[in-house]
A and B are shown apart, each in its own frame.
Chain A
């Protein structure tokens, strides 16, 4: 036996959900959810509006507590949350620097940034390429830059797991590409990422793992295994076809037009 003491390396999933059920009132919005979020996860939750995507995200965050079932988090797990840009009050008087710093717990009586904090804020902004915009008002930014501000705020918490609610909702195509690339970079640097999305072709098809959700998990795995007509019809209640384009699945409606987004009750918007 070696006299050296093995340091306990955290193993197993970051978060493990077992038979999780959640109901706001009588009808459950989540039923029998079994889900492991592993260390290197890059996972997209898809499903129609009201399918429980946001509720599941809130269960993962610990804001909602399962009505039944269990949720286990790796001890000391740090996570950070990026809200939908549409929920942000862009008229609020905060500069980029202020918006990023506000999430950092205040350890002194003076509210200003410590030297260490200024460095951390500069680093987070630099990592996302917006360090030259620190003193701008949050309104005076492009869509992609606005998304980066809230990513920077999340990164300041040095999370192991990043949760994003509809990171590309309400942004243009260019911004969508920008955000996707950015997330891929963060994932490559070791961050586990879970996001919800309406965008099957623009986002979900590009992720390593997709989870189809409609109250229960109807499919989970690589996009080419999950984005299949039968699973999609079960999830959205609408018939869809799946083609292949540049090695990725491309979800189209019955006329063959690519699906842009899926709104309330599975209403499709095609290109």
Chain B
């Protein structure tokens, strides 16, 4: 058992991946609370695809990945936020068109310019291979900043999420708060894309908050529970990924799903009723 636990620590990149999975799990878990309560899951999904396109363009142009993809992600995040705020019929479709096109563009570019074609698989499904020191510090940095921002702007973030109209009337600049949330979300997706993968980030944003919601009626508790659950799923999923040789994104999602089932059965399904206020779309 001890050997099983210690084995991944022999390799630097696996040590990094372990940290990244755990921290990224917590990060996505916490942000996912806002995402699910605001019905932005689709936006999270779309953003990760859009950012993938930006990353591929950077690779093709040999621009620094994080600078380029970061700017791209920020731009798409704010654009998607602006579109969704207007609540025009078909705004979802517009997001779908732009983000999937960006994704397809990224796939095409990676296919044309990269030497190792497997890296497409790795980007889409997540990989624990080749996680660098820089990757690790990036996700830690983003998590610390996110934690600070959420603490500092806790009440306006909650007010805007719960009751945007009244928040606006009470003098909260809700458009700014939403922009802030989009920036945090873009940064989180960017930082965790490597290990979680483009398509499975959405699950890391949705499953831990759903589990946390089944366990509590308090917002503050839901927030930290979701972070802890996300971190645990990331940690356990990463071990499973290493030992079973399955992509990290997939194992993290499967571990999360197992945790969901356990809580669902433990609350005898009563917990699931509480999730009525969460929206996957």
**Which A positions have Cβ atoms within 8 angstroms of B?**
58, 61, 63, 80-81, 83, 87-95, 98-99, 101-106, 109-111, 137, 139-140, 157
Whether A102 pairs with B151 at a CB distance below 8 angstroms is no
A residues less than 8 Å from B170 (CB atoms): 80-81, 103, 157
Query: Could you write out 28 A-B pairs with CB less than 8 Å apart?
Result: A61-B169, A81-B166, A81-B169, A83-B165, A87-B165, A89-B277, A91-B274, A91-B276, A91-B277, A91-B278, A92-B37, A93-B217, A93-B218, A93-B219, A93-B222, A93-B277, A94-B158, A94-B162, A94-B217, A98-B158, A103-B170, A104-B155, A105-B155, A106-B156, A109-B151, A137-B217, A137-B218, A139-B217
Whether B151 pairs with A83 at a CB distance below 8 angstroms is no
Q: Chain B's nearest CB lies how many Å from the CB of A123? A: 19
Whether B219 pairs with A94 at a CB distance below 8 angstroms is yes
Task: Confirm or deny: B216 has a beta carbon within 8 angstroms of a beta carbon on chain A.
Answer: yes
B residues less than 8 Å from A98 (CB atoms): 158, 218-220
A106-B177 Cα distance, complex, nearest whole Å? 14
For window 157-177 of B, CB contacts with A under 8 Å fall at 158-159, 162-163, 165-170
A residues less than 8 Å from B153 (CB atoms): 106
A248-B276 Cα distance, complex, nearest whole Å? 44
Which A residue's beta carbon lies closest to that of B152?
A109
Q: Chain B's nearest CB lies how many Å from the CB of A173? A: 26
Which residue from A63, A93, A105 sits with its C-beta under 8 Å from B213?
A93
Whether B155 pairs with A94 at a CB distance below 8 angstroms is no
**Does more than half of chain B's interface fall in helix, strand or loop, or is it mixed?**
helix
Whether A101 touches B155, Cβ cut-off 8 Å, given contacts A92-B37, A94-B219, is yes
Task: Confirm or deny: B154 has a beta carbon within 8 angstroms of a beta carbon on chain A.
Answer: yes
Which A residue's beta carbon lies closest to that of B278?
A91
Number of interface residues of B (CB under 8 A): 30
A139-B159 Cα distance, complex, nearest whole Å? 17
A106-B274 Cα distance, complex, nearest whole Å? 28
A199-B217 Cα distance, complex, nearest whole Å? 34
For window 198-257 of B, CB contacts with A under 8 Å fall at 213, 216-220, 222
Q: Chain A's nearest CB lies how many Å from the CB of B253? A: 23
Whether A106 touches B169, Cβ cut-off 8 Å, given contacts A91-B274, A91-B277, A94-B162, is no
Q: Chain A's nearest CB lies how many Å from the CB of B64? A: 32
In the complex, which of the residues A61, A88, A102 has the most CB atoms of chain B within 10 Å of its own CB atom? A102
Whether B217 pairs with A95 at a CB distance below 8 angstroms is yes
B residues less than 8 Å from A80 (CB atoms): 170
A94-B167 Cα distance, complex, nearest whole Å? 15
A63-B275 Cα distance, complex, nearest whole Å? 32
